[in-house]
């Protein structure tokens, strides 16, 4: 095998599922970008940041020669989105964001600097994350399941609180929906981030939290916290023993957060499709599934059209939830 052919075979092997897509040297030269970046509107070290870096590594050599991650934290993810809105529509900038930034925020903020359906193009889902209700040492050990916890809340209304990462977050509205659907005096305690909420529930300052499981499972293993239910429509593969809210008669308390990739509107559809193919291929790799699964995240790609459909459905669902809870939009 001469040097050129050997290099070609090795390159195609490195692309894995994308090898056939870029099998033509001409097509590869036309579509391979020299450099791309993935913008994340949250700080380094977060679950989303880990996912972002996993995908960035796998997109090297398939979508672009080099792919870097840029953390642009602030305003609950909105700054990252504004970065993409202002970027050139040349395919070199992607956004990875929880889709609630697009589907929930329009209902809880009076004004936004972006239009989620006009300024961005869906590319692919990256990972999905469920939420869970977990209780800590403030709740008696005799409370073993969700019905018992709700009964405890009714018997102790002065202690019946749950923490969330912040006012207006998905967990906030899921907890509020739980309280309303179960006719339980469960009051919301907003925190500035998940870490602060976790500190207080583990320390016995509040009885419960609604957060993603990755924050809870280390404390479950030590016996400090107990997961009572998850919000996914079906049992979460990574927590098969935890019942769903729907199983327990609370179907309205259902939500799976998507972390998805987007590009700026006006980007060449061919670049969008090629980025989508690269992301979907990465999401199917065993090592990606394993590494993200360790964070209770499920690697899961999608076609752009499928992502667009779920965004629209989530937008309408959150509209109804926010209205039902009676939340007043913020500035």
Clarify whether residues 215 and 266 are in a common domain: no
Clarify whether residues 263 and 125 are in a common domain: yes
Least confident of 12-26, 79-93, 217-231, 290-304: 12-26
Does 18 score more than 90 pLDDT? no
Domain count, the chain: 2
Clarify whether residues 75 and 118 are in a common domain: yes
Residue finishing a domain among 230, 248, 276: 230
pLDDT in tens, 84-118: 999 999 999 999 999 999 999 999 999 999 999 99
pLDDT reported for residue 238: 85
Residue finishing a domain among 213, 230, 247: 230
Residue 183 sits in a domain whose CATH number is 3.40.190.10
* Structural domain includes residue 18: no
Q: Is 2 exposed, middle or buried (0-12, 13-18, 19+ CB in 10 A)?
A: exposed
Clarify whether residues 58 and 139 are in a common domain: no
Does 52 score more than 80 pLDDT? yes
Clarify whether residues 108 and 59 are in a common domain: yes
Q: Which pTM does this prediction carry?
A: 0.86
* Structural domain includes residue 19: no
Q: Evaluate whether 325 touches 176 at the Cβ level (below 8 Å).
A: yes
Average pLDDT, the chain: 90
Give the model's confidence band at 192: pLDDT under 50 very low, under 70 low, under 90 confident, else very high: confident
* Structural domain includes residue 12: no
What would the mean pLDDT of 8-19 be, rounded to a whole number?
A: 40
Q: Is 66 helix (H, G, I), strand (E, B) or coil?
A: strand
Does 4 score more than 70 pLDDT? no
Clarify whether residues 105 and 139 are in a common domain: no
Residue with tokens 């672009």: 64
Does 201 score more than 70 pLDDT? yes
* Structural domain includes residue 241: no
pLDDT reported for residue 31: 61
Residue 79 sits in a domain whose CATH number is 3.40.190.150
pLDDT reported for residue 328: 87
Q: What is the largest CA-CA distance in the chain?
A: 78
> Structural domain of residue 116, as residue ranges?
32-129+256-325
């Amino acid at each position: 095998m001469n040097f050129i052919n050997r290099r070609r075979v090795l390159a195609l092997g490195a692309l894995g599922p994308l090898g056939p897509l870029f099998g033509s040297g001409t097509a590869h030269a036309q579509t391979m970008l020299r450099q791309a970046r993935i913008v994340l509107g949250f700080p380094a070290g977060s679950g989303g940041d880990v996912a972002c870096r996993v995908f960035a590594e796998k997109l090297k050599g398939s979508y672009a020669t080099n792919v870097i991650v840029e953390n642009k934290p602030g305003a609950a993810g909105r700054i990252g989105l504004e970065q993409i809105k202002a970027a050139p529509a040349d395919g070199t900038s992607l956004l990875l964001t929880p889709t609630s930034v697009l589907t929930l925020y329009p209902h809880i903020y009076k004004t936004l600097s972006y239009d989620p359906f006009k300024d961005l193009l869906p590319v692919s889902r990256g990972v999905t994350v469920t939420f869970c209700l977990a209780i800590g040492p403030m709740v008696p050990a005799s409370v073993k399941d969700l019905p018992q916890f709700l009964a405890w809340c009714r018997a102790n209304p002065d202690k019946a609180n749950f923490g969330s990462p912040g006012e207006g977050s998905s967990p906030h509205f899921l907890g509020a929906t739980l309280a309303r659907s179960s006719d339980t005096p469960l009051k919301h305690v907003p925190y500035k981030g998940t870490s602060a909420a976790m500190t207080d529930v583990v320390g016995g300052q509040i009885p419960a939290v609604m957060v993603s499981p990755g924050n809870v499972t280390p404390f479950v293993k030590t016996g400090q916290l107990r997961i009572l239910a998850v919000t996914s429509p079906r049992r979460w593969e990574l927590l098969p023993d935890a019942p769903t809210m729907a199983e327990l008669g609370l179907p309205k308390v259902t939500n799976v957060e998507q972390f998805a990739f987007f590009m700026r509107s006006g980007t060449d559809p061919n670049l969008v499709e090629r980025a989508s193919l690269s992301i979907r291929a990465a999401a199917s790799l065993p090592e990606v599934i394993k590494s993200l699964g360790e964070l209770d995240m499920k690697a899961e790609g999608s076609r752009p059209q499928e992502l667009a459909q779920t965004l629209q459905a989530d937008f309408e669902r959150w509209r109804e939830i926010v209205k039902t809870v009676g939340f007043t939009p913020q500035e």
